[in-house]
Structure 1
C-alpha cells in the first residue's frame, strides 16, 4: 500500500473523480504525510478548504471531497442520512487504499465526521470538529431561517452569520464564494439529512481523540454545543475563538492550522511524531 500511495498522482481541483462505493466522487488529494480528510459544510464543496490548505504545511496529506449532491460527485437522486454520508467517508478511504485517516469537518461536515466515527471507529484516527454541533436542535431557528434563503440571499447573509466585522475587512467576499449553488431537489435532500442530526446521547461512544474548535459568537452552531461535545466525548479538547462566528475555519485558518498540526503530532520539520 505504501508504494502505491507514494506513486499516486495528485488529484487537482479542476475535476478529478474516484469511484467510492456507489458514487463517483470529486476530490482533491495533495501533499504527503499524515492523511487528513477535509469534510465540507452544508453549502460548500471540495474547494471550500482552499484557505486552510495553504496553512496546513508539509507533513499532511490533505484530501477534500464532494459529498452527495455537491460539486462534481455523482450520486443516485434518492434521500440519504448523515449515517450514509459517514459511510461514504469510509468508502472514500477504501478507494484511496487508506486503512484509517484523521477527519476534519466543519459545520455539516463536522456532523458527518461524528457519524463516521460512531459507525467506523477503527477507521477514524482522530477528529477535528470545527464550528459544528451534536444536534440540529441547537440553533435550529437560525439554521432554518438560513436554509429557507435563496442562493443569492444566502450569499448576502454571509456577513451576518459567518464572519466577524474585522474578518469582512480582511476577507472581502471570500466566504461567500465558498457557497455552492444547488437545485431545489439537491438542497432539500441535504437539508432533510441535517435536520435528523441528533447524537448528544451517543457522544460518549466516540473513541477517537477529538479537537473541537469553535467561535464563541456562532449563531448557527451555538457554543453551548461545543461545550457539550467537550464534556461528553471521552478524549476531547475544546479551543475557543473569542468572538468567532460560523466561518472560523476560514477566517482564522492560520491559527487553526497550527492547532491541527500540533494535534496530529506533525512537527516543524514535517515529520510526524512516532
Structure 2
C-alpha cells in the first residue's frame, strides 16, 4: 500500500487506499490514534464485503502535518479551559476528512468514525451532507459533555499522557498501559499487536503534544444534537456497553439525535471494536451502506 498526501489549506494529510476501485467508497476516520488503529484484518473484511477503503492520519498524528508551533496544552487547559486553549476545531478536522475524498476524486463516500473520529464523522455529515452516503459512528457521542469519562478515568489518562516517551519501546508499553485503563476484561486486547502498533506509531511520528491538541479539540467541541437532527443519510451508531471513554449514554444520545438512526450495542465492548466483533460490525456497516446481505448480529439493536 502506498502512502499519498492530500492537502487542506496548509495541512497535509497522509492517506492510503485498500481494495479495488470498483468497490463502494468507504472512509475510515480515526480518533487521536494514527490510521494504524484500523486493523488490517478488519479492513480486509470490509474489502471482502465490497468496499474500497481509505484511511488517513488526522492532523497532529503520524505522517500528516504536526502543528508544533501551536504548543502543548496544559493539564488545566484540557480539564478546565478547553474552549480557551483550543488550537483548531472539530469542523477543521471534518474539512480535513473531506480533502481525502477530494484527493481520491470521490464525490461521496460511506463514512465510519471511531471515538473522536466518530465525532469528526458527525461534523462531516452536518457540514458536507452531499459528501456522505452513509454514516457510522463507533463509541462517539454528540457532545463531550454527554457520557464523557469519569473523573478518575480522565485523571488516569492524563497521568499516562504526561509520562515521558522517548523510544519505540516506551510507546509500546504506553499502548499496553492505555489498554489497562480503557479496555474491557471481556475482550482482552492482543498485547503483541498493541506493542507492534506502539512501535510503528512512534516510528511514524508520535507527538504527545499533538495528541493533547486533538484532545482539547474534542473537549472544546459543542453540542451537535441540534445540527444532527438535519442529517438524512442512513446512520448506524455502534457502542460498547463497557466503554469508559464515551459511556453508553453518549451512543444513545447520538442515535436519538439523528432521525432513523440504528443503535447497536455490545455488552462488554470497550471504546474500540475487538476482533471477535469485527464480523458483526462489518455486517452492520455493509447493511447500512445498502450492500447485499442480511444482518445476523449478536448485538442488541434499538
1:130-185 deviation per Cα after TM superposition (whole angstroms, max 9, x unaligned): 111212222243345314413544531303412434434xx334346445453343
Unaligned runs of 5+ in 1: 1-10, 269-274
Is residue 241 of structure 1 aligned with residue 260 of structure 2? no
Out of 37, 52, 56, the residue aligned to residue 42 of structure 2 is 52
SS at match of 1:219: coil
Query: 1:251 Cα deviation (Å)?
Result: 4.9
In the alignment, what sits opposite 1:220?
245
Question: Separation in 2 of the partners of 1:163 and 1:178?
Answer: 18
Change (3 A) 1:55 1:229: same
Distance 1:178 1:221 in 2: 22
Alignment of 1:2-151 (within 5 A): 11-12=1-2, 15-32=3-20, 33-42=23-32, 44-49=33-38, 50-56=40-46, 57-77=48-68, 78=70, 79-137=87-145, 138-140=147-149, 141=151, 142-143=153-154, 145-149=156-160, 150=163
Deviation (angstroms), 1:102: 1.0
Query: 1:111-138: per-residue Cα shift (whole Å, max 9, x none)?
Result: 1111111111111111110111212222
Q: Helix, strand or coil for the counterpart of 2:136?
A: strand
Give the corresponding residue for 1:196. Answer: 220
SS at structure 2 position matched to 1:205:
coil
| Distance in 2 (alpha carbons) for counterparts of 1:131 and 1:264 | 19
* Cα distance change of structure 1 residues 256 and 63 upon mapping to structure 2, 3 Å threshold: same
Partner Cα distance (2:207, 2:66) in 1: 14
178 and 133 in structure 1: CA distance in 2 versus 1, 3 angstrom threshold: farther
- What is the root-mean-square deviation in Å for CA atoms of aligned residues? 2.2
